[in-house]
């Protein structure tokens, strides 16, 4: 039985029990049953029997269907009509259910996601690269099969540091005494403050606590300060150590996803080496570049909860473009032998599911999806495959011209494409 058949059977079996329910109450019952199914698939019920198709397959379909239930619940929350009078609303009911069933058809879904090793539950590494504000979080939720991945989110680490300060377990003085010497005193690009000078002026000089900084991330100076604090502590490296602690079986190494700006190739290579040493297979190490129009990222940055300073935003987009072009056309990092793709994360190239009135279906935040705000349900997006898993780079004639166009149209004007294409040895002259 496929997912479509399961949904149809579930609806028919439940309708006789739902005569005194409103439509929204019925949706909640149906949602709870799918939640039970997801727990069973994850093995939360104690069973570890082999599942075909893969758990990732099933969970992703369950997740999408629950998203639709959430959207329908919001749409009809004011409708108090009991289902025993469903004959009066047959057209609305049938149209809604048929729309949901068709939308979650697994064959459709498989064509809309980037997947890794046929959705293997273990042993996968994914680097999501892209400049600040490029929408990597949205891409993780909507463009790739991220079910079952542990995500290294530096923003969450920063929040955690602020909470430790609030609990009295951490302070600026303790941090500076232990990690202050690791702050670079090299001036920033265009003569800006060095990380050390920045912290001395905007943190120590103003008597700021880490908690004070964390509470106001609309202030770009606070965002930069928190970034320097977390970076000096090496929390990103400690996360990897924690994830691999006690994992001695190479067959069950966790799926890990790294959200990086990729300003430097070392942000990839420095992580790959210890992962391979701990048992990961290089064929399962993948790279996705989320390319967003720089000017759109600048506008989006103004409305974010965490406003990235303009100079850092520019540097991350410049750095990501240079790093990715180097990786794709010159030197592929050792140990990176999985698939490589570029996602063009621009609104006009991202298709969303809509209801019968043409309005985008929105998914509200809940405990399962952990969204920060309502999100549309994506039905398709534009991406460019560069490398197949375990194989060589796809012939340049199939992608290089397209990617050049994407880069020229979407990256900062400060990038000199002719300089970008020069061999490394010429750049050193």
* CATH number of the domain to which 143 belongs: 3.40.50
**Which range has the top average pLDDT, 53-57, 360-364, 418-422?**
360-364
Contacts of 241 (CB under 8 A, 6+ apart): none
**pLDDT confidence tier of residue 338, bands split at 50, 70 and 90:** very high
Same domain (yes/no): 381, 273: yes
Name the least confident of 13-27, 356-370, 410-424: 13-27
66 or 60, which is more confident: 66
Same domain (yes/no): 193, 276: no
Nearest residue to 376 (alpha-carbon basis) of 103, 87, 150:
103
| Burial class for 193, CB neighbours closer than 10 Å (0-12, 13-18, 19+) | middle
pLDDT at 6 (0 to 100):
54
Rounded CA-CA distance 63/71 in Å is 13
**Contact (Cβ atoms closer than 8 angstroms) between residue 379 and residue 145:** no
Rounded CA-CA distance 185/194 in Å is 5
Range of the domain at 199: 155-232
User: What is the average pLDDT score of the chain?
Assistant: 78
Q: What angle (nearest 5°) sits at the alpha carbon of residue 201, between those of residues 195 and 203?
A: 85
Judge if pTM exceeds 0.75.
Answer: no
20, 25, 27, 33 alpha-carbon torsion, rounded to 10°:
-90
pLDDT at 347 (0 to 100):
86
Same domain (yes/no): 140, 90: no
pLDDT at 230 (0 to 100):
82
Q: What angle (nearest 5°) sits at the alpha carbon of residue 292, between those of residues 428 and 129?
A: 60
**pLDDT confidence tier of residue 46, bands split at 50, 70 and 90:** low
Name the least confident of 10-19, 225-234, 274-283: 10-19
DSSP letter string, 69-128: HHHHHHHTTT---BGGGGGGGHHHHHHHHHHHHHHT-HHHHHTTSB-STTT-SSS-EEEE
Same domain (yes/no): 143, 290: yes
pLDDT at 418 (0 to 100):
72
Same domain (yes/no): 289, 363: yes
Q: What angle (nearest 5°) sits at the alpha carbon of residue 224, between those of residues 222 and 229?
A: 95
Same domain (yes/no): 168, 97: no
Q: Coil, helix or strand for 353?
A: coil
Question: In sequence order, what E strands does 92-216 have?
Answer: 125-129, 149-152
Report whether pLDDT(381) > 50: yes
Residue 133 lies in a domain: yes
Name the least confident of 15-19, 136-140, 332-336, 341-345: 15-19
pLDDT at 320 (0 to 100):
92
**What are all long-range contacts of 236-240, with beta carbons under 8 Å and residues at least 24 apart?**
236/152, 236/154, 236/157, 239/152, 239/157, 240/152, 240/271, 240/274, 240/275
Percent of the chain with pLDDT over 90: 21
Same domain (yes/no): 272, 385: yes
The count of structural domains within the chain is 3
Same domain (yes/no): 254, 394: yes
pLDDT at 7 (0 to 100):
52
Q: How far, CA to CA in Å, does 149 sit from each of 116, 124, 190, 369?
A: 11, 8, 38, 13
Q: Are strands 340-344 and 382-387 parallel, antiparallel or unpaired?
A: antiparallel
Rounded CA-CA distance 343/112 in Å is 12
Question: 220-233 and 172-179 are packed helices; what angle lies between their axes, rounded to 10 degrees?
Answer: 50
Residue 241 lies in a domain: no
Same domain (yes/no): 72, 202: no
**pLDDT confidence tier of residue 167, bands split at 50, 70 and 90:** low
Report whether pLDDT(415) > 70: yes
Q: Of 232, 262, 283, which marks where a domain is finished?
A: 232
Same domain (yes/no): 85, 137: no
Same domain (yes/no): 225, 360: no
Q: Of 232, 262, 285, which marks where a domain is finished?
A: 232
Across 287-292, average pLDDT: 95
| Burial class for 59, CB neighbours closer than 10 Å (0-12, 13-18, 19+) | buried
Residue 237 lies in a domain: no
Read off the pLDDT of residues 104-138 as tens digits, 9 standing for 90 and up: 443 333 346 899 998 899 999 999 999 988 999 88
Nearest residue to 134 (alpha-carbon basis) of 316, 266, 279:
316
pLDDT at 197 (0 to 100):
92
Enumerate the β-bridge partners of residue 382: 344
Enumerate the β-bridge partners of residue 387: 340, 393
Rounded CA-CA distance 322/299 in Å is 22
pLDDT at 58 (0 to 100):
64
Report whether pLDDT(87) > 60: no
Number of H helices, E strands in the chain: 18, 10
Q: Of 232, 259, 284, which marks where a domain is finished?
A: 232
pLDDT at 149 (0 to 100):
92
First to last CA, the chain: 65
Rounded CA-CA distance 277/130 in Å is 26
**Contact (Cβ atoms closer than 8 angstroms) between residue 26 and residue 33:** no
Structure tokens at 49: 């029997």
Read off the pLDDT of residues 186-239 as tens digits, 9 standing for 90 and up: 887 667 789 899 999 999 999 988 888 878 888 888 888 888 888 888 777 777
């Amino acid at each position: 039985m496929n997912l479509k058949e399961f949904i149809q059977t579930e609806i028919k079996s439940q309708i006789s029990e739902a005569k005194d329910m409103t439509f929204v109450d019925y949706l909640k019952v149906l949602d709870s049953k799918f939640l039970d199914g997801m727990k069973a698939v994850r093995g939360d019920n104690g069973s570890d029997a082999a599942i075909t198709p893969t758990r990732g397959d099933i969970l992703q379909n369950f997740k999408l269907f629950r998203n639709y239930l959430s959207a329908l619940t919001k749409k009809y929350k004011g409708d108090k009509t009991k289902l025993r009078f469903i004959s009066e609303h047959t057209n609305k009911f049938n149209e809604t259910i048929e729309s949901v069933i068709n939308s979650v058809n697994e064959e459709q879904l498989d064509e809309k996601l980037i997947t890794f090793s046929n959705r293997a539950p273990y042993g996968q590494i994914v680097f999501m690269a892209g400049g600040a504000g490029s929408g990597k979080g949205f891409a993780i939720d909507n463009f790739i099969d991220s079910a079952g991945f542990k995500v290294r989110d530096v923003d969450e680490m920063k929040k955690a540091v602020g909470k430790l300060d609030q609990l009295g377990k951490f302070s600026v003085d303790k941090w500076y005494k232990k990690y202050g010497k690791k702050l670079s005193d090299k001036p920033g690009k265009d003569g800006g403050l060095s990380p050390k000078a920045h912290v001395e002026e905007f943190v120590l000089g103003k008597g700021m606590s880490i908690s004070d900084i964390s509470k106001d991330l609309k202030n770009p100076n606070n965002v930069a300060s928190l970034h320097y604090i977390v970076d000096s502590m090496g929390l990103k490296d400690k996360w990897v150590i924690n994830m691999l602690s006690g994992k001695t079986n190479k067959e069950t190494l966790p799926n890990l996803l790294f959200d990086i700006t990729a300003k430097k190739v070392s942000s990839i290579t420095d992580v790959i080496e210890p992962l391979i040493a701990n048992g990961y297979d290089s064929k399962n190490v993948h790279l996705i570049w989320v390319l967003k129009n720089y000017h759109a990222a600048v506008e989006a940055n103004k409305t974010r909860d965490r406003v990235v300073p303009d100079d850092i935003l520019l540097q991350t987009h410049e750095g990501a473009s240079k790093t990715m072009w180097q990786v794709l056309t010159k030197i592929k990092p050792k140990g990176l032998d999985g698939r490589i793709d570029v996602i063009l994360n621009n609104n006009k190239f991202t298709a969303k599911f809509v209801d019968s009135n043409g309005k985008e279906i929105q998914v509200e935040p809940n405990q399962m999806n952990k969204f920060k705000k309502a999100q549309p349900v994506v039905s398709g997006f534009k991406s460019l495959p560069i490398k197949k898993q375990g194989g060589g780079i796809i012939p340049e004639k199939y992608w290089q011209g397209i990617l050049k166009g994407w880069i020229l149209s979407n990256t900062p004007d400060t990038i000199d494409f002719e300089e970008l294409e020069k061999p490394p040895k010429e750049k050193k002259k």
